[in-house]
Structure 1
Amino acid sequence: MKKSNVFFTTILLLSSLLVTVNINAQERKGPPQNGERKGPPPGGHSPVQSKTLEEIGGYKIGEAATDFQLKNVDGNTFSLSDIKDAKGYIVVFTCNECPFAKMYEDRLIALHNTYAPRGYPVIAINPNVSETNERESFKAMQKRAEEKQFPFVYLADMGQKISPQYGAVRTPHVFLLDKEKKVQYIGTIDDNARSAQDVKVKYVENAIKALENGEQANPNFTKAIGCPVKNL
């Protein structure tokens, strides 16, 4: 008799457990219907910036950037004013080792080759340069520039004197300036860091086209996707 009671009690407990599991399974939300997907596509990223420029710090849209003097990988000192008849400047904070920076190297080369002849050169600046880090040392920058045959200047922001002025917090982080060095666009290069072939929106190129047409870039502020600038 006792064995029978134990048996029936066990059956009741198991039944109750199965019912609870079934109810929870029915209430649990499944995948989006009709192939809908929230968020960016695989490999892509959202350009929506969650922080304001005030929170990030640095230059605001429309503010004039101060010129600088930084050492280029060729050993010479470079300033924006060295480029005569510039219509604008594609200032990009990048580095040697960040995976995202590496993903965008070929695209930066293409940007420069396309737009420098039209007056919009790429100005690459390394905010992570450090002689205590072999992979981000000035010699490593020289080696990287030679390996990739950078057609643009690659400048060392020793002591991070320039990157905080701009508000550069990621590598890469783009600041498009007009010929008066006023900031016209801040943010990401395009909407897909991992795959140039799958890019849907080219934010920097669109901003340049708007600038050439005397219009304001839309959007003029997006979220830079990359590695955080190192605190040196």
Structure 2
Amino acid sequence: MSSEPTDPRIIVALDFPDSAAAQALLERLDPARCRVKIGKELFTRGGPALVTRAVDAGFAVFLDLKFHDIPNTVAGACAAAADLGVWMVNVHAQGGSAMLSAARECLARRRERPLLVAVTVLTSLGAEDLAAIGCPGTPGERVLDLAGLAQAAGLDGVVCSPQEAAALRTRFGAGFRLVTPGVRPARAAAEDQKRIMTPADAVAAGADYLVVGRPITAAPEPAAALAAIAAEVGG
């Protein structure tokens, strides 16, 4: 494996039901070539110890727990995530301005802090899903509103569908980080995602980081699948 220092765009989603499977994949990947995401199922199974092992192995970890609670609780959760040495943590923008600001202020007091991004609209949701929960308008309109709330609170960026990346980049500029799940190579199945885009198109639209799961994790040769996607997006 190469140990050349890089700033990889690809975040491999470790969406496994147990720690052993996640650890086995980590051993097949190069931390100089990708970052990794640990979400709710895996964190609930493996706990902080799994996060620590990934960090100790050299991986930049995106802790994807989507904190959404009262401001003090979310601030404390973000502090706990930072203590684990993660590279990025997220909260739900729908928690409101006070919650977002509390999370940002808590992390800002640290000498070294993780990036803080807000989830806007889940990529599994379409307009009909939003209507069913009382949110009128299109997903794109809702994303722009919530991203504006996050930027005003001082967050580093948002998690969004790649389909909204171009509009967000235009409105919020180059310094606002865009993390995009819903990325699928051209021949891959959409599965449970509705608002998807190919890796190259997502980067062209303005995405900074691409979250990719099963096209890499379910591939016979995960490192080769990662390399192919990285070559497509130039890193």
TM-score category of the 2 structures, normalised to the smaller one: 0.3 to 0.5
TM-score w.r.t. length of structure 1? 0.32
Larger relative contact order (Cα-Cα within 8 Å, sequence gap ≥ 6): 1
TM-score w.r.t. length of structure 2? 0.32
Greater share of residues in helix? 2
